[in-house]
Amino acid sequence: QVHLVESGGGLVQAGDSLRLSCAASGRTFSRWAMAWFRQAPGKEREFVALISWSGFSTIYADSVKGRFTISRDNVKNTVYLQMNSLKPEDTAVYYCAADQVIGRTKPNEYDYWGQGTQVTVSS
């Protein structure tokens, strides 16, 4: 079982950067693929990025490609989402999730979720 806690959200202006963190607990954390999702008011939860257990395979949503970078530190049991050139449309609650299979981009395919952290980008 994996327990996830997100942090690092906040209120920023368009063009600014934020770095989100997801602290994970579990003795087999390094074997889990990790993903970031986000959910804006009135919208469904959508895929943002994922990373394999090794950290060498990543996938990004088209909306964030070139601006966001996902990474992980298995020693610290933490996954990061570096968000650059933020836009107002990036405003959402950001969630991290864990899965044993790499490549899944649908929220209902993940069993383990954090509580979420709010990211608000003003124009």
Share of the chain above pLDDT 70, in %: 97
CA 9 to CA 113: how far, in whole Å?
16
CA triplet 15, 78, 2: central angle to 5 degrees? 125
Q: What is the pLDDT of residues 49-76, one digit of tens each?
A: 999 988 889 999 999 999 999 999 988 9
Strands 18-25 and 3-7: antiparallel
